[in-house]
Structure 1
Amino acid sequence: MKIKAGFYIGIAVALIVGGSLLVVKGKDAVSQAEMRKQGVLEAEQTTLFYQKSPGSIVEVDVAAGDWVKRGDVLFKVKSAEEGEADMLALDDGLISRIAVKPGDQVKQGAPMAVLQKNNYYTDLYIQESEIQKLQVDQSIGIHFPYLDDPAQVNGVVTSISAAPQFANLRMSREKGQADLSMFLVRIAVDSNADLLPGMTAEVRLDEIAD
């Protein structure tokens, strides 16, 4: 019994010492989680508005889910003042929504379609203690941990602002019950054939030099 008790005590001591070393080095699970900030990859969207004199939709040349290039014909519209005119795509991207159909009457300012552009971004919430690592226009590596072949993609910090909805967030580790200020950081992400909106994007703060 004494041998077993000594064995278990030895294991417990080893675990405590090992855990303490990891904490001291900042490599415990909580520290690693704090250094890895995750967000959702989003695609910029733009709405195409009708800008001419009132008319009617003669033809719809695209459907939701179609990929288009800048200058592609999306609609044909006929008006009393301007006759029949083509409505063109203003950017490359994916048609995510069509708001009109043949025969519809449209006035200036009416929404016609929503285009999902090839420009990606992700929003991250960063603690005040770490925000000094980041600045606007800074290049930064973005990881996509759940890709079959995880790769680092380049990104650029486009904005940093206070996140008032986190004003009352409290943390229980190291700072006790002190209020924790958070900042919203938006990062533009280079487009990549393997990336899709909705994927998890991750920034590892420990890879960024102070």
Structure 2
Amino acid sequence: MKIKVGIYIGIAIAMIVGGSLLVVKGKDAVSQAESRKQGVLEAEQKTVFYQKSPGAIVEVGVAVGDSIKKGEVLFKVKSATAGDIDVFAPDDGVINRMIVKPGDQVQQGVPLVILQKNNYYTDLYIQESEIQKLGVNQNITVHFPYLDHPTQVMGVIASISAAPQFANLRMTREKGQADLSMFLVRIRMNSNADLLPGMTAEVKLDEVTD
């Protein structure tokens, strides 16, 4: 029993020491995201709302996982005042979630479906000392270094905003380290057959172009 307790204590000490070294060397996830300019690939999503006269859904033309094109009929609604109403897809994408079903009563403002658009984005944290290198609407190459065949796509800087919560996170994680002014940079890009939401995206600031 004493041997097992000793082993567990040794493992715990090793984990604590290892974690401390990672923080000191800046190798934890937060520091890596900052220093290597890495973020997580996300897919833009859009909720489709019903905007016509009240009625009942009589036909559903899509299912979760279906790829759709802009203008495709998603639902048919029977309205007492307006007759038959078609609800069209507002964008290309994939059906992520169905909110209604045949027979449901709908009125203006009711959500019908969540659409995963064919547009991806990643959010990156950039230090104040480097933010002047970037501007909204500039092009930048986005790398995906952990694929079997590393892939890169062209992205566009969509927005730049202050991110004080990131600096606060650093202060609570790294005692004694000075607070830093950070900026949140969102980069948008088109979908790609090789890419999936959740993948690691990485940029190099010297690859920015107008």
**Which TM-score applies when normalising by structure 2?**
0.78
The change in CA–CA distance for 1:99 and 1:129 in structure 2 (over 3 A counts) is same
Secondary structure of the residue that 1:161 maps to in structure 2?
Answer: strand
Aligned to 1:164: 164
1:85 has 2:78 as partner: no
d(CA) in 2 for partners of 1:80 and 1:29?
Answer: 64
**C-alpha displacement at 1:81, in angstroms?**
0.7
Secondary structure of the residue that 1:133 maps to in structure 2?
Answer: coil
**C-alpha displacement at 1:164, in angstroms?**
2.0
Q: Which amino acid is 1:187 matched to?
A: I
**C-alpha displacement at 1:144, in angstroms?**
0.3
The change in CA–CA distance for 1:188 and 1:71 in structure 2 (over 3 A counts) is same
The change in CA–CA distance for 1:208 and 1:74 in structure 2 (over 3 A counts) is closer
Q: Which amino acid is 1:56 matched to?
A: A
d(CA) in 2 for partners of 1:177 and 1:97?
Answer: 44
Identity rate of aligned residues, in percent? Answer: 71
d(CA) in 2 for partners of 1:190 and 1:51?
Answer: 28
Q: How many residues align?
A: 179
d(CA) in 1 for partners of 2:185 and 2:119?
Answer: 17
1:44 has 2:44 as partner: yes
d(CA) in 2 for partners of 1:136 and 1:206?
Answer: 15
d(CA) in 2 for partners of 1:130 and 1:116?
Answer: 32
CA contact (8 A) 2:138 2:208 kept: no
Q: Larger deviation: 197-206 or 95-104?
A: 197-206
d(CA) in 2 for partners of 1:135 and 1:112?
Answer: 37
**C-alpha displacement at 1:151, in angstroms?**
2.0
Aligned to 2:17: none
Unaligned runs of 5+ in 1: 1-27
d(CA) in 2 for partners of 1:72 and 1:151?
Answer: 32
**C-alpha displacement at 1:113, in angstroms?**
0.5
Aligned to 1:115: 115
Unaligned runs of 5+ in 2: 1-24
- 1:135-176, Cα deviation, whole Å (9 max, x unpaired): 11111111001112112211111111100212433497xxx7
CA contact (8 A) 1:35 1:206 kept: no
Q: Which amino acid is 1:197 matched to?
A: P
Determine which structure has more spread, i.e. the larger CA radius of gyration: 1
CA contact (8 A) 1:55 1:78 kept: yes
Structure 1 consecutive aligned stretches of length 4 or more whose deviation exceeds 2 Å? 32-35, 166-172, 204-209
**Which TM-score applies when normalising by structure 1?**
0.78
d(CA) in 1 for partners of 2:201 and 2:127?
Answer: 18
Coordinate RMSD, CA, aligned: 2.4
